[in-house]
């Protein structure tokens, strides 16, 4: 039986069993939370809403069965060990295919040390940073698992995360998140599973070229070594700019794709909680938000909101500044941060070249670097940004960007359409979330890598046209937006490969 139940903030979840027994009028021996979400539409009536499956008897759960392929084992190379590549590789392995995963960066533990070293010294490793390495860009994020897609594969993504050690609550929360700390542990567990069951992973190994025979993939070049391959999964991530260039040279159809750019905005987490939940905020998890403004000609929106988190130095190329946000599972930092970004249209690229979006991002990142220097980030108080002046001091909000900051005029660093839209959007968003445009809120630039600036075209069979055996996949190739959708696309491509042999 599935029932809908409510608890007030602070009430223990153990009470759910009692409520179910009242519904069933019998002892409950099985209870499973299917969904848990917070209803905060009325601040005086904030409550947790549950969908709960309960019964007097425990059900018999059937394990997931994966049909093994028969015959000759295909050679499958998965380029990239982010969520798309890892989930694809795990799914292939469970069907009996032993994948070779190649990752240009390092294992997640070593990568975390490289990231901290960059934060401390400003010495960037272009192959091991917040963008590149095992776990992908999502390994240094809030680990959000909500998605706007309704793919039936989303449930398998959640179940797989749980299998590899993610917190149990991601299985039922309305807005699940793993947190960067837990996500890195899950990634390490997935690696151990792949290696322990016959898979192979090569770190410090980039996909540098391809060879085809008769329109079908024959070999892949990994660093300077050629290897035979029947299939290649392109799970390269949204910052693999050199890979995009290689694919264009090899005749792949590469299209421009619109994306968004802007800044990170930081507030005191306590103020966000009070604004969202009123007097109930101390009894509830750190509050989040999601805002959209259509007050200007272009849409502005918040993205990748990180409650109790920090703003990260996230560049992967020397001489550029890129920001991103990260929260650990506890979300217990002083500040909240989110991307505040504006649509970038194709006409903004001023070029028909397929990689014009990459050039647009790079120009913006270098402008931010030039404004602040030494991988510091240009910052501005919201009040000063709205009045068009350089900040001279911080107020109640202090920036969390690890490499340090420098006051700079963001309205001159950002493209004019972006800056002007943000000036309109800030007070408009403040009408829906009181305090969003607080004078002391901090804007940190630049947020330039919200999504891939390209799409590597694929057909209905998920293969690149005229390039049989190559599967563009995930966020980098333009087919996902976030951890869950990227992982689901990896599962989708693995299924397409497996079905050729079943």
CA 316 to CA 86: how far, in whole Å?
21
Cα–Cα distance between 265 and 381 in angstroms, integer?
9
User: Dmax of the chain from CA atoms?
Assistant: 70
Q: Please state whether the peptide bond connecting residue 136 to the residue before it is cis, i.e. omega within 30 degrees of 0.
A: no
Question: What is the model's pLDDT at position 64?
Answer: 83
Give CA–CA dist 207/104, Å, rounded. 8
Per-residue pLDDT, 427? 98
Looking at the DSSP assignment, which residues form a beta bridge with residue 173? 36
What is the three-class DSSP state of 13? coil
Q: Tell me which residue of 14, 48, 12 sits closest to 31, measured CA to CA.
A: 14
What pLDDT shows up at residue 171? 95
Token pair 């249209």 is found at 345
- Retrieve residue 444's tokens: 């940190």
pLDDT at residue number 195: 98
Class of the CATH-defined domain 76-255+474-498: alpha beta
Break the chain into its structural domains and give their ranges.
Answer: 2-55, 76-255+474-498, 259-447
Q: Are 206 and 368 in contact (CB under 8 A)?
A: no
pLDDT at 127: 95
Residue from 261, 442, 456 nearest 349 by CA: 261
Q: Is 80 exceeded by the pLDDT of residue 382?
A: yes
Q: Give the C-alpha separation, 502 to 74, whole Å.
A: 13
153-163 residue pLDDT tens: 999 999 999 99
Structure tokens at 390: 């350089």
Percent of the chain with pLDDT over 90: 93
Cα–Cα separations (whole angstroms), residue 300 to 111, 295, 297, 305, 422:
33, 9, 9, 14, 7
pLDDT at 422 exceeding the cut of 90? yes
Strand partners, 502: none
The length of the chain, given as a count of residues:
502
What pLDDT is stored for residue 61 in this prediction?
Answer: 75
Residue 110 phi, psi dihedral angles, 5° rounding: -65, -40
Number of neighbours of residue 40 by Cβ within 10 angstroms: 17
Q: With the C-alpha atoms ordered 137, 303, 471, 495, is the resulting torsion angle positive or negative? A: positive
Evaluate whether 99 touches 76 at the Cβ level (below 8 Å).
yes
Rg over alpha carbons for the chain, rounded to the nearest Å, is 24
Q: What is the mean pLDDT of residues 337-366?
A: 96
182 close to 170: Cβ distance less than 8 angstroms:
no
- Model confidence pLDDT, tens digit, residues 197-245: 999 999 999 999 999 999 999 999 999 999 999 999 999 999 999 999 9
Q: If you average pLDDT over residues 85-104, what whole number do you get?
A: 97
- The helix-helix angle for 483-498 and 83-94 (nearest 10°) equals 30
State the Cα angle at 87 between 86 and 88, rounded to 5°: 90
Q: With 90 as the cut, is the pLDDT of residue 335 above it?
A: yes
Q: In DSSP terms, which residues pair with 35 in a beta bridge?
A: 51
The label of the residue with tokens 């501005």 reads 380
Q: How confident is the model at residue 362 (pLDDT cuts 50, 70, 90)?
A: very high
Tokens of 356: 């014009």
User: Can you tell me the mean pLDDT for 491-496?
Assistant: 98
**In the predicted model, is pLDDT for residue 86 greater than 90?**
yes
Q: How far apart are CA 389 and CA 443, in angstroms?
A: 13
Return d(Cα 144, Cα 463) in angstroms, integer: 28
To the nearest 10 degrees (0 to 180), the angle between helices 153-163 and 483-498 is: 100
Measured CA to CA in angstroms, residue 84 lies from 29, 136, 187, 471, 476 at distances of 38, 9, 12, 12, 10
Is 2-55 a CATH 3.30.70.2700 domain?
yes
Instruction: Express each pLDDT in 470-492 by its tens digit.
Output: 999 999 999 999 999 999 999 99
pLDDT band at 70 (very low <50, low <70, confident <90, very high): confident
CB of 477 closer than 8 Å to CB of 493:
no
What are φ and ψ of residue 260, in 5° steps? Answer: -145, 150
Q: To the nearest 5 percent, what fractions of the chain are helix, strand and coil?
A: 30, 25, 45
Torsion of CA 464, 469, 470, 472, to 10 degrees: 70
Contact 28, 56 (CB under 8 A): yes
- Give the pLDDT of residue 413: 98
User: DSSP assignment of 276-315, as one string?
Assistant: HHGGGGGGSPPP----EE-SSSS-EEEEEEETT-EEEE--
- Return d(Cα 425, Cα 446) in angstroms, integer: 17
The pTM for the full model equals 0.95
176, 158 in Cβ contact below 8 A? yes
């Amino acid at each position: 039986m599935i029932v809908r139940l409510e608890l007030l903030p602070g009430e223990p979840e153990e009470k759910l069993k009692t409520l179910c027994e009242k519904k069933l009028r019998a002892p409950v021996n099985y209870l499973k939370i299917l969904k848990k979400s917070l209803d905060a539409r009325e601040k005086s009536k904030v409550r947790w809403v549950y969908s709960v499956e309960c019964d007097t008897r425990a059900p018999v759960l059937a394990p997931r069965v994966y049909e093994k392929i028969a015959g000759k084992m295909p050679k499958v190379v998965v380029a990239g060990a982010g969520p798309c590549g890892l989930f694809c590789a795990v799914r292939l392995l469970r069907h009996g295919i032993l994948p070779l995963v190649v990752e240009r960066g390092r294992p997640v533990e070593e990568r975390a040390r490289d990231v901290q070293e960059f934060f401390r010294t400003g010495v960037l490793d272009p192959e091991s940073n917040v963008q590149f390495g095992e776990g992908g860009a999502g390994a240094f994020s809030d680990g959000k698992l909500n998605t706007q897609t309704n793919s039936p594969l989303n449930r398998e993504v959640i179940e797989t995360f749980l299998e590899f050690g993610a917190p149990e609550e991601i299985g039922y929360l309305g807005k699940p998140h793993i947190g960067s700390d837990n996500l890195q542990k899950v990634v390490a567990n997935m690696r151990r599973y792949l290696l322990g069951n016959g898979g192979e992973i090569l770190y410090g190994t980039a996909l540098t070229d391809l060879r085809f025979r008769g329109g079908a993939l024959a070999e892949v070049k990994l660093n300077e070594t050629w290897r035979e391959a029947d299939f290649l999964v392109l799970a390269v991530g949204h910052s693999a700019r050199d890979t995009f260039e290689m694919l264009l040279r090899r005749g792949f159809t590469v299209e421009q794709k619109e994306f968004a750019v802007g800044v990170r905005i930081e507030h005191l987490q306590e103020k966000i909680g009070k604004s969202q939940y009123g007097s109930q905020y101390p009894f509830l998890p750190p509050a989040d938000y999601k805002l959209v403004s259509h007050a200007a000609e272009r849409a502005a929106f918040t993205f990748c909101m990180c409650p109790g988190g920090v703003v990260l130095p996230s560049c992967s190329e020397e001489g550029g500044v890129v920001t991103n946000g990260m929260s650990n599972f506890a979300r217990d930092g002083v500040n909240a941060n989110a991307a505040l970004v504006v649509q970038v249209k194709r006409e903004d690229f001023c070029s028909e070249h397929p990689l014009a979006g990459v050039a647009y991002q790079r120009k913006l990142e270098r402008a931010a670097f030039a404004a602040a220097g030494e991988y510091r980030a240009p910052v501005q108080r919201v009040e000063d940004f709205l009045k068009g002046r350089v900040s001279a001091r911080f107020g109640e909000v202090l920036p969390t960007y690890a490499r340090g900051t420098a006051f700079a005029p963001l309205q001159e660093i950002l493209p004019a359409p972006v800056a002007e839209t943000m000036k309109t959007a800030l007070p408009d968003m403040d009408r829906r979330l009181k305090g969003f445009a607080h004078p002391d809120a901090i804007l940190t630039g630049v947020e330039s890598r919200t999504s891939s600036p390209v799409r590597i075209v694929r057909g209905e069979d998920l293969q690149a046209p005229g390039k049989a055996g190559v599967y563009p996949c995930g966020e980098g190739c333009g087919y996902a937006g976030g951890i869950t959708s990227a992982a689901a696309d990896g599962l989708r491509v693995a299924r397409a490969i497996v079905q050729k042999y079943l």
